[in-house]
Amino acid sequence: MTITFVGHGYVGLVTACIFADFGNKVWVIGHTKEKIERLKKADPIIYEPGLKELLEKNLRANRILFTLDYNKAIPESDIVFIAVGTPPKEDGDADLSSLFEVTKKIGQHLKKGKTVVSCKSTVPVGTNKKIEIILRESKPKSAQAQVASCPEFLREGSAIYDTLNPDRVVIGSDSKTAIATLIELHQPIDGKRVITDLASAEIIKYTSNAMLATKISFANLIAFYCEKSGADVENVLDAVGMDKRIGRVFMDPGVGYGGSCLPKDVKALIKIGQTLQIDPAFLIAVENINQQIREGFLHKILTNAKEKHITIWGLSFKPNTDDIRDAPSSYIIARLLGKKFTISVYDPAGRENTKKLFGNALTYHNNPYTAVRNASALVILTEWNEFKQADLKKVKTLMKKPLIFDGRNIFHPEMVKKLGFQYFSVGRKPV
Ligand code: UDX
């Protein structure tokens, strides 16, 4: 098949490379010349394990092509995927302006008899119906567009694996042809198929991300209960999670959820609720707990770090990505700088993006050990494996004070205590 992706972020680029790898001809349309030139030279722009190699391979085989020109890609495509960002507006609502803009351009360039236009961007209920209208109004008379919603569930850091091994492939459409075409395209991919209507597909995506955020906030709420009552949240959640009806995955307490999806999608679902006159109090609580857990952790640092030169390990919103969008680190760093802390930072991938945000206000290190030299406290905000395996004896000799604030519970309190550290974590007694 010939496929076009409009958008080359985590969803667009990863999925485009995978469909190209299956032997399809894949066009990727962007709107910035400099980025398209970088992509043509096998620079994926984003950091995602395995993506550069996959891109290189498919560029060499001429199966993936990058362009700014809709006219090159759209007319010959069997399927066009819309994979542009839907960032939150001030009021939490999803900003659909670029999505509608590209939809109009797609419509204007449709030539073939029938093209499936499938939305991969996360969009509020009813958006695909609007896409249908825009296409109908912008396309030439001879062209036909069938709209489908094909939400994406990949996680940053394991995007290639997730795309190849999804738990489910959701296809929502009123068109039998669109459904059949998308089923055929997804043939080489594992996972159950869920064939449904447009509105259900749209709401499945928001529900999934809101449920994940709910699990995390619930774990963090219980962490507060444990802290106040002297219990150990890890033991509590391990035991609770043994109940198969509940499970333990995505219940890791810490400094809360960040990234480009969970915070934005909870906000958007709150807004959708308000529009539909449904009380979204439950989701507002999920969001509030995420904020409270960051504040609670910050409070621990402010009340227990007597000196103000600290080191932060972990800037990206989670391991295996350089993405710092809505990362707990950005919030915590800004607050600590406001309290006149001097901060040294280390992250295996998130340094450059953090630099764009904080510039010279921080001291950046290429190595976790040089970063802790003379620090009066070490603050851990992302659970990179490199930190879990760190030589803490060495860390202790380098630091001015053996004090750790662990926002991801990566160490066992007794082990760290034995090494002579004072140790604060989340939902567990300080030692
Ligand atoms: C998420 C969804 O998982 C994915 O299905 C969807 O397609 C896009 O949004 P992603 O944003 O890449 O993926 O990150 P995810 O792995 O979900 O983690 C989100 C945040 O939650 C991170 O900040 C992570 O540190 C935090 N988290 C995750 C916890 O605090 N505790 C957990 O138990 C799990």
For ligand 1, atom 7, which residue shows the shortest CA distance?
A: 153
Q: What is each CA distance from 104 to 131, 173, 326, 346, in whole angstroms?
A: 8, 19, 30, 44
Q: Is beta strand 309-313 parallel, antiparallel or unpaired with respect to 144-149? A: unpaired
Token pair 């910050």: residue: 298
How many angstroms is it from 132 CA to the middle of ligand 1?
A: 31
Alpha-carbon torsion (264, 266, 267, 269), positive or negative: positive
Q: How many Å apart are CA 329 and CA 331, to the nearest integer?
A: 5
Confidence at residue 178, expressed as pLDDT on a 0 to 100 scale: 96
Contact 201, 151 (CB under 8 A): yes
Measured in degrees and rounded to the nearest 5, phi and psi for residue 337 equal -60, -40
CB-CB neighbours of 41 under 10 Å: 10
How many angstroms is it from 82 CA to the middle of ligand 1?
A: 22
Task: State the pTM of this model.
Answer: 0.94
Residue 390, amino acid: A
Measured from the Cα of 260, ligand 1's closest atom is: 11
Q: Residue 60, exposed/middle/buried by CB under 10 A (0-12, 13-18, 19+)?
A: exposed
For 92, which DSSP code?
S
Q: How many Å apart are CA 196 and CA 111, to the nearest integer?
A: 27
Coil, helix or strand at residue 337: helix
Q: Is beta strand 168-173 parallel, antiparallel or unpaired with respect to 144-149? A: antiparallel
Contact 171, 201 (CB under 8 A): yes
Buried residues in 269-287 as b, exposed as e (16+ CB within 10 A)? bbbbbeeeeeebeebeebb
Q: Which of 17, 119, 226, 261 is catalytic?
A: 261
Hey, what are 72's tokens?
A: 């090159």
Residue-wise pLDDT tens for the chain (431 aa)? 999 999 999 999 999 999 999 999 999 999 999 999 999 999 999 999 999 999 999 999 999 999 999 999 999 999 999 999 998 888 888 899 999 999 999 999 998 778 999 999 989 889 999 999 999 999 999 999 999 999 999 999 999 999 999 999 999 999 999 999 999 999 999 899 999 999 999 999 999 999 999 999 999 999 999 999 999 999 999 999 999 999 999 999 999 999 999 999 999 999 999 999 999 999 999 999 999 999 999 999 999 998 999 999 999 999 999 999 999 999 999 999 999 999 999 999 999 999 999 999 999 999 999 999 999 999 999 999 999 999 999 999 999 999 999 999 999 999 999 999 999 999 999 99
Q: How many Å apart are CA 4 and CA 60, to the nearest integer?
A: 18
How many angstroms is it from 212 CA to the middle of ligand 1?
A: 7
Domains in the chain, please, with CATH?
2-204 (3.40.50.720), 262-424 (3.40.50.720)
**In testing the pocket of ligand 1, which one of 216, 251, 287, 332 has its CB within 8 Å of the most ligand atoms?**
216
Hey, what are 175's tokens?
A: 């068109």
Measured in degrees and rounded to the nearest 5, phi and psi for residue 43 equal -95, 110
